[in-house]
Amino acid sequence: RGSDRQVHCDIYGPIEEGDYWRRCQRIMAHLPANIRVAYCGLVAPVQVARVLQDYHLFYLPTQGENFGYAIVEAWAAGLPVLISDQTPWRALESRGIGWDLPLAEPAGFSAVLRRVADMEQAEFSAWSRRAQRFAGDLLARQNASALPAYRALFEQTLRHAQRQPAHRPPAR
């Protein structure tokens, strides 16, 4: 409220609760003229990164996420995130990769949206680079920690295969 900045919010994903969605549509119909909200439907998994690159911010005021793969995908696409504090991701602003705010304080979400809308390109680019770097580092750590498990599985499979007689196709 109180801003003339143009804000475009696109919503992706399934509509799972019809009554809730109709309530959202009623609210969207009464937003100020400078705010446009559109429902864009589902995105194929192979298209997610390309779709995310068209935006400046990933907004997910969720009531709860165990991990938040969509959040990590947003960082990987170079988007700072504006999420609730109901995810494992904390202290995002101090890292320069986003904001994690309490759902009970909607004014904080509005303030961040205004801040992002007012960012100069150089500042946004810095947030974007930090988000991408954070995602890259996170994924590298996860891959490194998974490597011993993959190696053990490979070695177990190899030992099992060595104990089994080789399969030979029937002679013709």
Q: Measuring CA to CA, which residue among 49, 42, 45, 44 is closest to residue 16?
A: 42
pLDDT in tens, 31-67: 999 999 999 999 999 999 999 999 999 999 999 988 8
Non-local (6+) Cβ contacts of 72 within 8 A are 135, 138, 139
Query: In whole angstroms, what separates CA 169 from the centre of its chain?
Result: 48
Looking at residue 22, what is its pLDDT?
97
Residues of the chain with pLDDT under 70: 1-3, 146-147, 149-172
Using DSSP, state whether 39 is helix, strand or coil: strand
Residues constituting the chain: 172
Looking at residue 39, what is its pLDDT?
97
Locate the DSSP E strands across 87-144.
Answer: 98-101
Looking at residue 1, what is its pLDDT?
46
- pTM for the full predicted model: 0.80
